Amino acid sequence: RKEVEQDPGPFNVPEGATVAFNCTYSNSASQSFFWYRQDCRKEPKLLMSVYSSGNEDGRFTAQLNRASQYISLLIRDSKLSDSATYLCVVNTDSGGSNYKLTFGKGTLLTVNP
C-alpha cells in the first residue's frame, strides 16, 4: 500500500459546483497533514493544514479522521481559478518538524465555465 493515496481524478466540474477530494495514509504514526495546490507547470504551494477538529478557510474545508487514516478537502462554489492539482501531504516526523513530507500523486481539478 502506498504511503499516501488520493482519488485518481481527473475531476471536471462546472463553476459553482461543490467538489470533494479524498486521501488515505498508511502510517498511523503520522503527525500532521496538509493540502497543497499545484498549478500547471508551477511549484506546489501550501493550501491549508488539516486539523483533527476539522478546519475551514473560506470556501475550503479540510477534515481528518485519524481512526480511519483518512483526509478530505471540500471546495464549495468552485471558481475557474480553482483549476489545479491538489496534493494530499502527510508528515510522519514525530518531532513535528517540516521535513520529509510525503506527497500523494495529486488529483487534477478542472472547473469549467
Partner 1 sequence: GAGVSQTPSNKVTEKGKYVELRCDPISGHTALYWYRQSLGQGPEFLIYFQGTGAADDSGLPNDRFFAVRPEGSVSTLKIQRTERGDSAMYLCASSPRGGSLSPGELFFGEGSRLTVL
Instruction: Give the residues lining the site for partner 1 (CB under 8 A).
Output: 4, 32-34, 42-46, 49, 87, 89, 91, 95-106
When the beta carbons of 18 and 27 are compared against partner 1, the nearer one is 27
Least distance CB 82 / partner 1 (angstroms): 19
Instruction: Please identify, using beta-carbon distances, which residue of 14 and 96 lies nearer to partner 1.
Output: 96
Nearer to partner 1, 98 or 113 (CB): 98
SS3 content of the chain, % helix, strand, coil (to 5): 5, 55, 45
Those residues whose C-beta lies under 8 Å from the C-beta of residue 107, and which sit 6 or more positions away, are 6, 7, 8, 9, 10, 11, 21, 85, 86
Shortest gap between Cβ of 32 and partner 1 (angstroms)?
A: 5
Buried (b) or exposed (e) across 74-85, using 16+ Cβ within 10 A?
A: ebeebeeebbbb
**Least gap, CB of 99 to partner 1 (angstroms):** 4
